[in-house]
Amino acid sequence: MCAVLEISPKTYYKYRNSEDPDYYDYLIIKEIFDDSKGTYGYRRIADGLFQKYGVIMNRKKVLRIMKKYNIQAEYIRKAKIKHKNKRIEDNVKPNLLFIK
């Protein structure tokens, strides 16, 4: 397997049993994200960490962990209404000034 991945066996065994240092931070970030029904971004999650757990975490770290574990907020945008100023013949009234 090391030959396929083009890494040395020493590197493989070094990282095989290592634990991700961001995993426990990810769990509490994911909990706040799920409580918000997937609408909180990294700023509001950082504020939520302080309010719920009293943990002060840098927003850059929250953003990095969200990118690492592919957590992305779903932003709800209003549909754009296209205002068309087309002339509709049914709504045009006759010009009464020039009628003889």
**Which pLDDT value is given to residue 85?**
65
**Which pLDDT value is given to residue 59?**
92
Average pLDDT, whole number, for the chain?
84
63-80: per-residue pLDDT in tens? 999 999 999 988 777 777
* pTM exceeds 0.75: no
**Which pLDDT value is given to residue 99?**
61
Q: Which residues of the chain have pLDDT under 70?
A: 83-90, 98-100
∠ CA 22-25-27 to the nearest 5 degrees?
A: 110
